[in-house]
Structure 1
Amino acid sequence: MGNVWDSARHYLNTAARAIDLEPEITERLMTPMRFVEFTIPVRMDNGEKKIFHAYRSHHCDVLGPCKDGTRVKPDLTPEEIKALSMFMSIKHAIGDIPAGGGKGGIKADPSSMSKGEYERLIRGFIRRLVPKGPHVDVPGADIGTGKEQMAWMLDEYEQITGTHCPAAINDKPSELGGSQGGFEATGRGVALCTIQACKELGMAPAKSTLAIQGFGQVGSVAGRILFEEGFRVVCVSDIHGAIYNSDGIDIAALTEHVEKTQTVTGFSGAQPVDSGKMMEQDVDVLVPAAVQDVINADNADKVKAKLVVEAANGPVTPEADEVLSRKGVRIVPDVLANSGGAIVCHFERIQGLGNDWWEEDKVYQMLEKRILGAYEEVSRLAAELKV
């Protein structure tokens, strides 16, 4: 496939044929109902004005307002945003969430900007987006954005509209109406799906080895929970390198190391290994939790894992998916495995609209019920369709 948008459309077509979806509906879902591209002028610290390109895609609002993330990175493309908005539509549908798929982005490198420049860029995104509010379009966080950027977005929205409306933006700090448990939501959902898949496959945690590619917010949370459940995590990687210990890596100690050094490399409890061979590790469970297309036509036949849990968006290409299927590898798809964040964003909007805030335990209990219910339905349908 040429890019993630091609892959997304391929998977949609495949699913549509499997369930004999009406051609008119398939055609409708193949293209976002609305896609806007706009520019954001930003006054830089040196006095110069720089123009940044930004996008917002509304894939489908049949189920409710379009929601979520805002991705900021220097190589961002319109096709990536379109694909991610389609993924969000599917995640919301799988999770029984009354919302459609939305995704926004800015082509920029946050690491090259001062905090003041970046704040002006993010606030400019909201102004140029012309926000419609919590019943139409709800931006959230993604790669390159987090709680602080969402706080800027909410403040800008409320200044523009003259209203107090915490439900207008997702993934905010709890002090501004964000949900408890939001930081852990995606990683916790990945862990819950992994545990459930292992139960179906008869794989006991204590006897199962696991590798995690990517130890950021999602990978670290999933790794910690799975480690606590008894899984033997033998290999972990990040953008700087990979580490391995056949006896298992102490994830709690690794997390402390990463907090101090910002990388898994140099951890005393494991040995360095080739990160390029990450997908080929001899483990029972493989969790790609970083970027797309890491399992592809070049390495799919070398994957030894019995179970692949897609914690990242689109980590397995369509060509690799066919190879893994022929090998009998079970795949928990990204639209299910990493939907925990979308589910808790739904809870955040509910809390914001009702001005009624939940304790963390309730959020986790509701998340587990929602994502395992979705897992059960997807698993049943996969067995029924023999896919």
Structure 2
Amino acid sequence: MNALAATSRNFKQAAKLLGLDSKLEKSLLIPFREIKVECTIPKDDGTLASYVGFRVQHDNARGPMKGGIRYHHEVDPDEVNALAQLMTWKTAVANIPYGGAKGGIGCSPGDLSISELERLTRVFTQKIHDLIGIHTDVPAPDMGTNSQTMAWILDEYSKFHGYSPAVVTGKPVDLGGSLGRDAATGRGVLFATEALLAEHGKGIAGQRFVIQGFGNVGSWAAQLISEAGGKVIAISDVTGAVKNSNGLDIAKLMKHSSENRGIKGFDGGDAIDPRSLLTEECDVLIPAALGGVINKDNANEIKAKYIIEAANHPTDPEADEASTSDSIWQTNTPTATKCTICLKCSLSEFLLQILSKKGVLILPDILANSGGVTVSYFEWVQNIQGFMWDEEKVNNELKTYMTRGFRDVKEMCRSHHCDLRMGAFTLGVNRVARATVLRGWEA
């Protein structure tokens, strides 16, 4: 199941639980605007190269549209649409005044020089500058982009509209970026994990963690979890995977990764097959890389008790979709009838799938990895106010938002007798639907 089909499927299930009007449901699903542009640049060798750029603006009922821009060779319209839709529900779950958007360019950033990346970014900005803005659509970094990319977008946009630091977030601090932004998604993962474990009388300390991905999110999550007393026993990235049952030295691994452009060859543990990492025995599994990595082919082998989705859409619905009778927070709910054709079921007959049978609890991406967009919101607020927060305030506010988000999701689980994923989707969809109706939507 591709990302767009899976995301739409989760939305439709949430809409059924909420009893949304069919016309409103359709309206919420259709993007506000889809943009596709050609970006032609001169390469360093004098030849011309063309790339296709996308920006999907999904919904603005709750505020300016918000979402990252990724540079990756697999960027396509379906992926960007799915991620834009997820951002709509994610910002609503986090309860920040944004809608959802996403963008990307189909390219391999590792094959481009810094000057080529700058030219590509500036051309892309030239093509979309009149469709983004401080109160319209606010981009941010994503896979293959970083604070430098945002600095180029800011500079190019400002040539047309005057100096506008709030037009992007995830900027360098010297250009109005927020302290604590680099660590925000990983720190949000820590806070979300703490909230989930606390529900079961546990804490980070003493738990065994496996993390797939050692980029910005995975490395910060690993570092912060280790500092909190958690034992990170296995990690992978694109170069390989390493395991140490006694716990990896994360500081040493980060130094090795920085110096060697990956974790391959790290001598602080045993090299393992990256494909086996997801099925390592542990307490908490954190997929922090690409989507769709947990699916019906490997779900039976998952040995973790908890999965924290630090990546976007890492779990295919066929692997984790649970019956309404399996929520750990439902109360006074009759036993639901199980069936095998979930899209044709009544609300009480969701398909009981692999991970739910194994008793694995999954904290969904639209809550677990919302720390990044939350601190992006803080950055935007600071830019508009012209007043910079210290890092302690940023981190304290982030913990408040993540903890409150978990509490709100949990309440939806109780109200609708559903699992955490549907709790998060019903929360997000309900908030967007209410805003849409309040602004004057008519059937």
Same fold (TM over 0.5): yes
CA distance in 2, matches of 1:239, 1:194: 25
Corresponding residue number in structure 2 for 1:137: 137
Q: Which shows bigger deviation, 216-225 or 243-252? A: 243-252
1:73-152 matches, within 5 Å, as 73-131=72-130, 132-152=132-152
CA distance in 2, matches of 1:245, 1:153: 42
Tell me if structure 2 keeps the 8 A contact 1:191–1:223.
no
8 Å CA contact 1:285, 1:307 repeated in 2: yes
Q: Deviations over 1:283-326 (max 9, x none)?
A: 11100000101100101111111100000000000101131122
Secondary structure of 1:369 counterpart: helix
Picking from 361, 371, 387, the partner of 1:340 is 371
Equivalent-residue separation in structure 2 for 1:123 and 1:349 (angstroms): 21
CA distance in 2, matches of 1:301, 1:359: 45
Q: Say which of 384, 387, 390 aligns to 1:356.
A: 387
Equivalent-residue separation in structure 1 for 2:288 and 2:98 (angstroms): 25
Paired letter, 1:78: P
Aligned in 2, Cα 1:136/1:206: closer, same or farther, shift over 3 Å?
Answer: closer
Whole-Å separation in 2 of the counterparts to 1:300 and 1:380 = 27
Alignment of 1:1-387 (within 5 A): 1=1, 3-131=2-130, 132-161=132-161, 163-322=162-321, 323-387=354-418
1:153 match: secondary structure: helix
**Post-superposition shift, 1:272?**
0.9
Point out where structure 2 has 5 or more consecutive residues left out of the alignment: 322-353, 419-443
Q: Residue 68 of structure 1 aligns to a residue in which SS?
A: strand
Is contact 1:141–1:150 with CA below 8 Å preserved after alignment?
Answer: yes
Native 8 Å contact 1:205 1:230 kept in 2: yes
Q: Report the secondary structure of 1:366's partner residue.
A: helix
Please give the TM-score of this superposition, normalised by the length of structure 2: 0.85
Q: Distance in 1 between matches of 2:67 and 2:257?
A: 28
Q: Distance in 2 between matches of 1:142 and 1:245?
A: 30
Q: Is contact 1:68-1:170 (8 Å) kept?
A: no
Contact 2:194 2:203 in 1 (8 A): no
CA contact (8 A) 2:295 2:315 kept: yes
1:62-107 Cα deviation digits (max 9, x unpaired): 0011112111111211111011111111111011111110111111
Q: Which runs of 4+ in 1 moved over 4 A?
A: none
For structure 1, the residue ranges without an aligned partner over 5 or more in a row are none
Residue 268 of structure 1: CA displacement? 1.9
Paired residues of 1:307 and 1:329 also in contact (CA < 8 A): yes
Q: One-letter code of the match for 1:152?
A: W
Q: TM-score, normalised by structure 1?
A: 0.97
Of the structure 1 ranges 181-190 and 47-56, higher mean CA displacement relative to structure 2 is found in 47-56
> Which deviates the most, 213-222 or 322-331?
322-331
Q: Which moved more, 1:259-268 or 1:367-376?
A: 259-268
Aligned to 1:276, what secondary structure does the other structure show? helix
Determine helix, strand or coil for the equivalent of 2:30: coil
Q: Aligned equivalents of 1:262 and 1:278: distance in 2?
A: 20
User: How far did 1:17 drift?
Assistant: 1.5
Instruction: Give the superposition deviation at 1:343.
Output: 0.4
Secondary structure at the aligned position of 1:10 is classed as: helix
Of 248-257 and 69-78, more deviation after overlay is shown by: 248-257
Query: What is the Cα deviation at residue 231 of structure 1?
Result: 1.2
> Once the 2 structures are TM-superposed, how far is the Cα of residue 135 of structure 1 from its aligned partner?
0.7
Q: Which moved more, 1:309-318 or 1:232-241?
A: 232-241
Aligned mates of 1:79, 1:261 — CA distance in 2: 34
Q: Secondary structure at the match of 2:50?
A: strand
Shift of 1:183: 0.3
Residue 410 of structure 2 aligns to which amino acid in structure 1? Answer: S
Moved more, 10-19 or 299-308: 10-19
RMSD of Structure 2 on Structure 1 (CA): 1.2
Shift of 1:190: 0.5
Kept in 1, the 8 Å contact 2:190–2:221? The answer is yes
Identity %: 39
What is the Cα deviation at residue 220 of structure 1? 0.8
2:134 alignment partner AA: P
> Residues 351 and 204 from structure 1, CA distance in 2 versus in 1: closer, same or farther, beyond 3 angstroms?
closer
| Post-superposition offset of 1:365 | 0.7
Q: By how many angstroms is 1:141 displaced?
A: 0.9
Instruction: Give the superposition deviation at 1:48.
Output: 2.2
Residues 168-177 or 248-257, more deviating:
248-257
Distance 1:203 1:292 in 2: 28
| Residue 249 (structure 1) shift | 1.2
Q: How many residues align?
A: 385
